[in-house]
Amino acid sequence: MKQKKEGFRTTIGGQALIEGIMMRGPSKQAIVVSTKDGFVVKEEDLKFIKDKYPILGWPLVRGIVNFGSSMVNGFRALMFSASCLPLEEQEEEKSKIDIWIEKKFGGEKADKIIMTVAAVIGIALSVGLFILLPTLLAGLFKNIVPSGLLKNLIEGAFRIAIFLIYLWFSTRMKDIHRVFEYHGGEHKSIHCYEKGLALTVENVRVQPRQHPRCGTSFLFVVVIISSLVFSVVSWSNPLLRILIRILLIPVVVAFSYEINRLIGRHDNRFTRILAAPGLALQRLTVYEPDDNMIEVAIAGLKLVIPEKKGADEW
C-alpha cells in the first residue's frame, strides 16, 4: 500500500461489534470477529440506493437515507458477530421468546423476525427515552415556567442529561465496555491509516482513541440539534408536543449528518470547536484496546481500502 500524505482524511468508517469490528469503505464492507479458533471474516460489495435515485444523495436528504442504512447494516453486523459466539454463550443470550420463535418458524426466518422485532423495540426505546421522557419531564414545569421557549430549553437540558446518564451506565456493563474497547481499536487503526503509517499493531497502538467522525459524536450532535429545533416549536397539548417532536426527527437527523460530515471533511478552528464536545464525550464510549482487538481492526480496515489511490479521500 502506498503511503498517504499527512493530513489525509478517509471516508472509511467502522462500528464496534461483539468481539469484532465492521469496517465500511467506499465500495466494500468487511466484518471481522475474533473467536477462539481465529478470525471469522465476512466481506461484501456495497450497493448504494443513491446510484439508482440520485436525489437521495442530495444534501440533507442523504443524511436521513444514510442514517437509516447505517442502522440496518449496523444491526445486521451486530447479529452476525453474535452468531459467531460459542453455542453455549448464544444459548445463554437467547430469551424464551427467541427460543419460541425459532421453534415456531425455524432457522433463517426466525433470525429475520428476531432482528426485526429487536430493531423495532430498540427504536421505540430510543424515542421513548430521548424524545418522550424529556418532554414529559419538562411538562412538570408548565405551571412554574410561563415561557414556552424556557420550557423547551428545560426539556433540552433533560434530554442531554438523560443521554449522558445513559452512556455512563452503559460503560458499567462488562460486555458493553469490551465493545467500547473494540471501538478504540477501530478509531486508532483509522488514525494510523490517515497518517500514512504502516498498519501494524505497534503503529496503531500509539494513535489517539478519539476520532471526529465517531458515531458517539454524531449522536451528541443529534441531541443538541434536537434541543435547538424543538425549542422553537411550542405547543401546550402534551400529546401534540410529542407528535411534533417525532415528526421533526428526520429534520434533526438531516442537519446533524451535515454537521458531522463538515467536521469529518475539514480540519480548521471552526470544525475543531464543533468537534470538541463530541471528542470529550468519547471518553465514555471509546477505550484502549488490547493487541488482539487492534489486529481485528487492522484486518477489517485492510479489506475495505480501495485499490485506486484516493478513492476514499474526502
Contacts of 31 (CB under 8 A, 6+ apart): 17, 20, 21, 22, 23, 41, 42, 43, 77, 80, 81, 300
Alpha helices (H) along 130-286: 133-139, 148-171, 174-194, 201-205, 215-231, 238-247, 249-265, 269-281
Please give the pLDDT value at position 269.
92
Q: What is the pLDDT of residues 192-218, one digit of tens each?
A: 999 999 999 999 999 999 999 898 899
47-80 pLDDT per residue, tens: 888 888 999 999 999 999 999 899 889 988 988 9
Q: Give buried/exposed letters for 56-68 (b at 16+ CB in 10 A, else e).
A: beeeebbbbbbbe
Q: 135 phi and psi, to 5 degrees? A: -65, -45
What are the boundaries of each domain within the chain? 13-304
Q: What is the pLDDT of residue 2?
A: 44
Mean pLDDT for the stretch of residues 261-284:
91
**Residue of higher predicted confidence among 3 and 92:** 92
Residues 262 and 213: beta-carbon distance below 8 Å: no
Instruction: Report how far residue 292's alpha carbon sits from residue 121's, in angstroms, rounded to the nearest whole number.
Output: 33
Summarised one tens digit per residue, pLDDT across range 93-150 is 555 555 555 566 665 566 666 667 777 887 788 888 888 899 888 888 877 877 777 8
What span, in angstroms and rounded, lies between the C-alpha atoms of 188 and 194? 10
Q: How far is CA 310 from the centre of its chain?
A: 25
Cross-strand bridge partners of residue 92: none
CA distance 97 to 67: 29
170 CB-near residues (< 8 Å, 6+ apart): 176, 284, 285
| pLDDT surpassing 80 at residue 166 | yes
pLDDT at 226 over 80: yes
CA quadruple 228, 232, 235, 240: dihedral sign: negative
Q: Each residue of 73-88: pLDDT tens digit?
A: 998 898 899 888 876 5
Alpha carbon 174 to its chain's center? 19
Sheet (strand 20-24) strand order? 13-17, 20-24, 28-35, 38-45
Mean pLDDT of the chain: 86
